[in-house]
Structure 1
Amino acid sequence: MSQNIKNYIGVAGMIVALVFAYSYFRYTGAYERSIQPSSFRSFSASGEGKATVVPDVAVFNFTVITEGGKDLAASQKENTDKTNQAVDFVKSKGVEAKDIKTQSFNVSPRYESYNCYAPMTVMSVSAAVGQEIAPVARKCPPPSIVGYTITQSIEVKVRDFSKVGELLSGVVDKGANQVGQLYFKVDDQEKALADARAKAIDQAKRKADEIAAAGGFKKGRLLSIEESGYNPYPYDRYYGMGGDAMMESAKVMSAPAPSIEAGSQEMKVNVYLRYEIE
């Protein structure tokens, strides 16, 4: 075999190797892109699952607001004493300490400020004859602290619903200024949510099969799943004793305890399934 033929064969072999390597990398790159979910032709189906539950816990909070003078220690003691009286009352009705929690405690100064932009006018003799009165600028002192407002909020969990109304009225009698954000819930929601989730997924799967059949394509593998849940909103009820409501405080304390019914609640779970189109 001549040297020229050997050279041609060597060059041809190199070309074949380069073509093979190029094809290999093109194929592996295309495969890598194909396994990314975003590159799939896909479709989505949604499902909703519901579970009806009977609440076993009532939750409400009460707030003690004290507006005192400059003696912060005295105001804080007054606020603490009233809060402790209300907490002791709650405990006396069978609520355990673990179900009573301080939500917030806040101390805010109250300031006296002045209208620095209102000019004072000085009457002059010339004013008597109808001439214009010249305003004189007034110096305004800086705002000064005239007292403190102390606010303390307590959250209470009640497991005996027959005592909820009595507790709402009783804490007001013991010094609470506001009582509200009453709502009912299931203390352990996981079982109900799992039941609702399973129903939602089953519904979404059936819907996906129906979509694929109607569209004339085959449903592929599951690419993603998303979930959103729903919980009932709190039912707010306030017994205010601040401002104008202070005049009605005696009526509130002497009125019969409100009748509270927990009823039942519906928990919902929504799921969104995304499938590959084969």
Structure 2
Amino acid sequence: MQRLSFAAAAIMGLLAAVSPAFADGGKMPRIVSLTGHGEVRSTPDIAFVTSGVTTQGATAAEALAANTKAMTGLFAALKDAGIESKDIQTSDFSVQPRYDFSNGQAPKLVGYDVSNNVTVKLRKVDTLGALLDKMVQSGSNQVSGISFDVSKREEAMDEARKLATQDATRKAKLYADAMGIELGNVMQISEGSSTMPQPVPFVRGATMMKADAAPVPVAAGEQTLAADVNIIWEIKQP
């Protein structure tokens, strides 16, 4: 469906471009329009980890004080692991009242929960397992997500674009040969691109680890970067 809309948009653009000549009595050019697809698989070399601390207290101030102390330990652990300040960003902070709904009674305020999370950019994926251990041991009691990326994304995308162009050209020549026609000049090129990340392992139960446990096993897998290109050729007149 996406590729169909993409090709349709390209054709509409072409028709808009040639309509003035057609209105002046010229002939609408005969065209061949094909979409090509290219994919490049890359091994991620960047990891993003969202982790933090949730604390409880009888009052909001008590819960906040406990959270601040734990987060200070987490920041120190990240610094000790060689993570630069520019690669640490607060992603969530909340203070929520906690109620007791038991025994069918009206909700009763019993305390407060404070949650603080940071997203860490790790530039050495092979150290991810050790970093997770260090974060948990320093006081982090929640790991809410792990994702991966490719640092040289544009280089990979350029290669995917070349493959997409080759794919569209190959198909256009195939159709032209089958129909006994000859391709003329390229009249229009338009691009659409997408990234299709592979499933990423999600770490569960990180708070259950002991200090002497083996590093958390993680797998970065591969990411598929894809590009689509629509090319329109004029058909040479016989």
TM-score of Structure 1 vs Structure 2, range by shorter chain: 0.7 to 0.9
Alignment gaps of 5+ in structure 1: 1-26, 117-139
Does the residue aligned with 2:164 lie in a helix, a strand or coil? helix
Q: Match for 2:77: what amino acid?
A: F
Stretch of structure 1 that moved more, 220-229 or 87-96: 220-229
Q: Match for 1:93: what amino acid?
A: A
Q: Match for 1:68: what amino acid?
A: G
Cα gap change, 1:275 to 1:68, in 2 (>3 Å): farther
Does the residue aligned with 1:273 lie in a helix, a strand or coil? strand
Does the residue aligned with 1:269 lie in a helix, a strand or coil? strand
TM-score relative to the length of structure 1: 0.65
**Residue in structure 2 matched with residue 31 of structure 1 by the alignment:** 23
Identical aligned residues as a percent: 31
Which is richer in strand? 2
**Residues 1:165 and 2:129 aligned together:** yes
Q: Match for 1:31: what amino acid?
A: A
CA RMSD of aligned residues (A): 3.3
Contact between 1:179 and 1:237, CA under 8 Å: does it hold in 2?
A: no
Alignment gaps of 5+ in structure 2: 1-18
Contact between 2:201 and 2:219, CA under 8 Å: does it hold in 1?
A: no
Contact between 1:101 and 1:156, CA under 8 Å: does it hold in 2?
A: yes
Deviation at 1:219, TM superposition (A): 4.0
**Residues 1:46 and 2:35 aligned together:** yes
1:238 to 200, 203, 226: 203
Deviation at 1:167, TM superposition (A): 0.9
How far apart, CA to CA, are the structure 2 residues paired with 1:210 and 1:67? 67
Contact between 2:34 and 2:231, CA under 8 Å: does it hold in 1?
A: yes
1:229 to 163, 185, 194: 194
Count matched residues.
Answer: 217
Q: Alpha-carbon deviations, 1:155-202, whole Å to 9, x = none?
A: 112223443211111211122122253333222311111111122112
Q: Match for 2:130: what amino acid?
A: E
Q: Alpha-carbon deviations, 1:48-91, whole Å to 9, x = none?
A: 2233434322222213122332x111111211221221121011
Cα gap change, 1:215 to 1:86, in 2 (>3 Å): same
How far apart, CA to CA, are the structure 1 residues paired with 2:62 and 2:80? 27
Moved over 6 A (4+): 32-35
**Residue in structure 2 matched with residue 20 of structure 1 by the alignment:** none
How far apart, CA to CA, are the structure 2 residues paired with 1:90 and 1:274? 52
How far apart, CA to CA, are the structure 2 residues paired with 1:33 and 1:86? 74
**Residue in structure 1 matched with residue 57 of structure 2 by the alignment:** 68
The within-5 A match list for 1:234-273 is 235-240=200-205, 249=208, 251-262=209-220, 264-273=222-231
How far apart, CA to CA, are the structure 2 residues paired with 1:208 and 1:171? 54
Stretch of structure 1 that moved more, 179-188 or 80-89: 179-188
Contact between 2:189 and 2:229, CA under 8 Å: does it hold in 1?
A: no
How far apart, CA to CA, are the structure 1 residues paired with 2:200 and 2:81? 22
Q: Match for 2:92: what amino acid?
A: S
How far apart, CA to CA, are the structure 2 residues paired with 1:236 and 1:255? 19
**Residue in structure 2 matched with residue 181 of structure 1 by the alignment:** 145
